[in-house]
């Protein structure tokens, strides 16, 4: 009996080997292409597979695109055949994952400038529906953007940034239909529902509205390096070709972008590299003005800024390895004017901060380097000054959250 069992196993192994040998991986052609950088020349035999964004977007593929697609199909067929013995478990895993996803899910609504905003999904549809309600969650729902409608006709589709104008009348939103994170910005009138017939291509996807409700600032990207490098000013109902360059980052070690402060008083350009932060600010009431440097760019100086009333609050590592909290008047932001609020602590690392204007609270996220009793929940109240209260919750080894009431009532 053992003899027949061994013979059967041998036949199964041979059949498996025959199946594997009949499924040979594709062998792409080699066309040497020289690439030179920093005085060094290297040969890329597969450069012919590199397609431009225009080729990827085209509905009618040219000869090169067809060759690349054919090769990708060969790779996919090889993979599919090689893994065909796992088809059943793939189906089971997929069905289990899908079963755990709520088909009609909805985000938690948040209040912004008189409206509650949220997004929701409907069963059988792939993309989010973005909505708002005025004043109360009991108000009538207004759909401001439906990804399912916008995605029709595209092989790839993703919604990027969404930003409503200060007067609540305009929605600036961005779409990527190429899968390269190059977003095109569109403008929708939320009163009429009409989308303007002009758009802004080749952006990072986010915008910052000025207080005139007609001007936005956005970031354009380098089409080769994909780095965000230029900030432009755009007026509604004008061509993007007329947009004005207001800032250009010439150091390719830095990323750059632009946003509107939570207070609404400033448009802020940020720059960030591995060890350096940098900001430029502009009054939101003066969109045609010039951005000014927050403080001269330093070396190994990382900091974050947040605006409230007439002050900027600054979390900085300037002469503070674990960071400290400082403040400065918003009309005198040079580092020479910064005043310390919370000093550096060797045992507490300040990680991030966030201002909640309606609550008059600034939240600092920190990490305690000292050890605590992991079996208990500890509340630590530290009075730093008459207007500063720290409430720290330490749970196991997770970062703690400290709430600082730093604003005068």
- Confidence at residue 347, expressed as pLDDT on a 0 to 100 scale: 82
Tokens of 179: 């899968």
- Confidence at residue 404, expressed as pLDDT on a 0 to 100 scale: 58
Determine the average pLDDT of the residues in 234-238: 94
Distance (Å, whole) CA 257 – CA 270: 5
Which runs of E-coded beta strand occur in 100-223?
110-112, 115-120, 129-134, 142-146, 158-164, 170-176, 183-189, 200-209, 215-221
Which runs of E-coded beta strand occur in 23-114?
34-37, 40-43, 110-112
Determine the average pLDDT of the residues in 269-288: 97
pLDDT classification of 401: cutoffs 50, 70, 90: low
- Confidence at residue 339, expressed as pLDDT on a 0 to 100 scale: 95
According to DSSP, the residues that pair with 129 across neighbouring strands are 120, 146
Tokens of 188: 């929708």
What share of the chain has pLDDT > 70, as a percent?
A: 85
Domain locations in the chain as residue ranges: 302-409
Q: Nearest-CA neighbor of 230 among 239, 216, 219?
A: 219
- Confidence at residue 356, expressed as pLDDT on a 0 to 100 scale: 83
Residue 137 CA neighbour count, 13 Å, CB half = 5
Return the minimum-mean-pLDDT range out of 40-44, 108-112, 121-125, 401-405: 401-405
Q: Please state the pTM of the whole predicted model.
A: 0.80
Q: Nearest-CA neighbor of 147 among 131, 169, 130?
A: 130
Spatial contact of 368 and 322, defined as CB atoms under 8 Å apart: no
Distance (Å, whole) CA 226 – CA 180: 9
- Confidence at residue 370, expressed as pLDDT on a 0 to 100 scale: 53
Cβ neighbours for 211, distance < 8 A, ≥ 6 positions apart: 166, 264, 284, 285, 287
Please determine, for residue 324, whether its predicted confidence score (pLDDT) is greater than 80: yes
pLDDT digits (tens, 9 = 90+) for 10-62: 444 444 455 455 789 999 999 999 999 999 999 999 999 999 888 888 889 99
Determine the average pLDDT of the residues in 207-236: 94
What share of the chain has pLDDT > 90, as a percent?
A: 70
Distance (Å, whole) CA 400 – CA 370: 12
Determine the average pLDDT of the residues in 148-165: 95
Tokens of 37: 């950088």
DSSP 63: H
Please determine, for residue 338, whether its predicted confidence score (pLDDT) is greater than 50: yes
Return the minimum-mean-pLDDT range out of 31-40, 99-108, 185-194, 218-227: 218-227
pLDDT classification of 248: cutoffs 50, 70, 90: very high
- Confidence at residue 395, expressed as pLDDT on a 0 to 100 scale: 35
The better pLDDT of the pair 226, 299 is held by 299
Dihedral angle sign, alpha carbons of residues 232, 267, 177, 70: positive
Determine the average pLDDT of the residues in 80-92: 96
Average per-residue pLDDT in the chain? Answer: 86
- Confidence at residue 314, expressed as pLDDT on a 0 to 100 scale: 96
Distance (Å, whole) CA 317 – CA 303: 6
Distance (Å, whole) CA 120 – CA 146: 10
Distance (Å, whole) CA 274 – CA 255: 10
Strand order in the sheet with 255-260: 255-260, 266-272, 277-283, 292-293
The better pLDDT of the pair 391, 360 is held by 360
Please determine, for residue 239, whether its predicted confidence score (pLDDT) is greater than 70: yes
Tokens of 317: 């590592």
- Confidence at residue 405, expressed as pLDDT on a 0 to 100 scale: 60
Please determine, for residue 330, whether its predicted confidence score (pLDDT) is greater than 90: yes
Return the minimum-mean-pLDDT range out of 49-53, 239-243, 327-331, 346-350: 346-350
- Confidence at residue 407, expressed as pLDDT on a 0 to 100 scale: 55
């Amino acid at each position: 009996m053992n003899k027949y069992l061994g013979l059967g196993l041998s036949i199964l192994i041979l059949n498996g080997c025959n199946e594997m040998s009949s499924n040979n991986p594709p062998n792409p052609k080699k066309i040497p292409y020289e690439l030179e950088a920093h005085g060094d020349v290297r040969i890329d035999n597969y450069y012919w597979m590199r397609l431009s964004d225009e080729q990827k977007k085209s509905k009618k593929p040219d000869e090169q695109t067809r060759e690349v697609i054919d090769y990708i199909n060969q790779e996919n067929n090889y993979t599919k055949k090689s893994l065909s013995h796992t088809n059943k478990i793939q189906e089971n895993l997929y069905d289990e994952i899908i079963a755990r996803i709520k088909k009609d899910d909805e985000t938690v609504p948040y209040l912004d400038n008189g409206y509650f905003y949220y997004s929701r999904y409907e069963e059988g549809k792939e993309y989010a529906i973005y909505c708002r309600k005025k004043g109360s969650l009991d108000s009538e729902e207004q759909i401001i953007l439906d990804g399912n409608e916008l995605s029709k006709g595209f092989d790839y589709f993703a919604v990027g940034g969404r930003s409503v104008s200060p007067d609540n009348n305009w929605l600036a939103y961005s779409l990527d239909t190429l899968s390269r994170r190059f977003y095109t910005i569109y403008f929708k009138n939320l009163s009429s529902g009409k989308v303007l017939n002009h758009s802004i291509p080749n952006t990072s996807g986010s915008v910052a509205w000025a207080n005139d409700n007609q001007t936005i600032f956005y970031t354009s990207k380098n089409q080769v390096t994909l780095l965000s490098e230029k900030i432009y000013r755009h007026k509604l109902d004008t061509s993007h070709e007329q947009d004005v360059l207001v800032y250009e980052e010439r150091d390719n070690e830095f990323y750059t972008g632009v946003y509107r402060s939570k207070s609404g008083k400033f448009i802020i350009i940020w720059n960030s590299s591995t060890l350096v932060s940098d900001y430029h600010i502009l009054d939101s009431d003066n969109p045609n003005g010039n951005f000014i440097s927050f403080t001269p760019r330093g070396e190994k100086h990382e900091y974050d800024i947040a605006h409230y009333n007439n002050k900027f609050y600054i979390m900085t590592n300037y002469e503070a390895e674990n960071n400290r909290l400082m403040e400065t008047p918003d009309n005198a932001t040079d580092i020479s004017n910064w005043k310390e609020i919370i000093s550096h602590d060797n045992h507490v690392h300040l990680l991030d901060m966030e201002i909640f204007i309606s609550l008059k609270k600034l939240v600092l996220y920190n990490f305690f380097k000292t050890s605590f009793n992991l079996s208990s929940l500890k509340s630590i109240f530290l009075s730093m000054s008459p207007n500063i209260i720290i409430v720290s919750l330490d749970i196991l080894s997770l970062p703690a959250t400290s709430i600082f009431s730093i604003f005068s009532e």
